[in-house]
Amino acid sequence: MSFSILKQIGDAQKKKAVVDVRSGDTVKVTQKIKEGEKFRLQTFEGVVIRVDRKESHTARIVVRKVTSGVGVEKSYLIHSPLVEKIEITKRSKVRRNNLSYLRNRSGKSARLAGRDFDRVAVNNVEVVEEAAPVEEVKEVEVVEEAPVEEVKPEETAAEEKTEA
């Protein structure tokens, strides 16, 4: 199989609109979970400690949270049909992509410095192409223009020779 065919298949599987998730973001990931014949939604909130292959159809984030003193990490494929929604609640200033050092820290030393961001603009990723509002067409006066005389290229060349 050629690489271009694989790329087309991968691009077809991508979601149209995805939130720009970065390392250090605190996110709420809503995931579909199948129990028997029914689906339910489960939310997992934590800090993104790693972002892999951001531009690929196999893009992945690793989210970590501490529950009852135990660190829990989950890995999510961003373009998976089971991932319903990713919402960024807080953005932090970090200087690296892999924040694995947070695994060894707890309490105040595990805090990340916050950064201001526009939560509404970041989380609104719906791709909705709205039609432009139709303006009312007013009656336009048609002005008749004077007919333009056609000039043949042979005549202009002859006129230039006589002028010179």
Instruction: At 64, list the tokens.
Output: 């970590």
In a domain, 57, yes or no: yes
CATH number of residue 91's parent domain: 2.30.30.790
In a domain, 25, yes or no: yes
- Please check whether residue 74 lies inside any domain of the structure: yes
pLDDT on residue 108? 75
Is residue 129 one of the residues assigned to a domain? no
Contacts for 41 with CB less than 8 Å, ≥ 6 apart: 30, 31, 32, 33, 84
- How many domains are there within the chain? 1
Instruction: For the chain, give percent helix, strand, coil, nearest 5.
Output: 20, 30, 45
2 within domain boundaries: no
Domain hosting residue 99, numbered range: 17-123
- At 79, list the tokens: 């373009």
Spatial CA neighbour of 51 closest among 27, 28, 22, 72: 22
pTM of the model: 0.65
Q: Does a structural domain hold residue 160?
A: no
> According to the model, what pLDDT value does residue 55 have?
80
Residue 135 maps to a domain = no
Whether 146 shows a pLDDT value over 80: the answer reads no
**Res 8: pLDDT:** 81
Residue 4 lies in a domain: no
Residues 38-47 pLDDT 10s: 999 999 999 9
- Residue 139 pLDDT level (bands cut at 50, 70, 90): low
Lowest mean pLDDT among 9-13, 20-24, 47-51, 91-95: 9-13
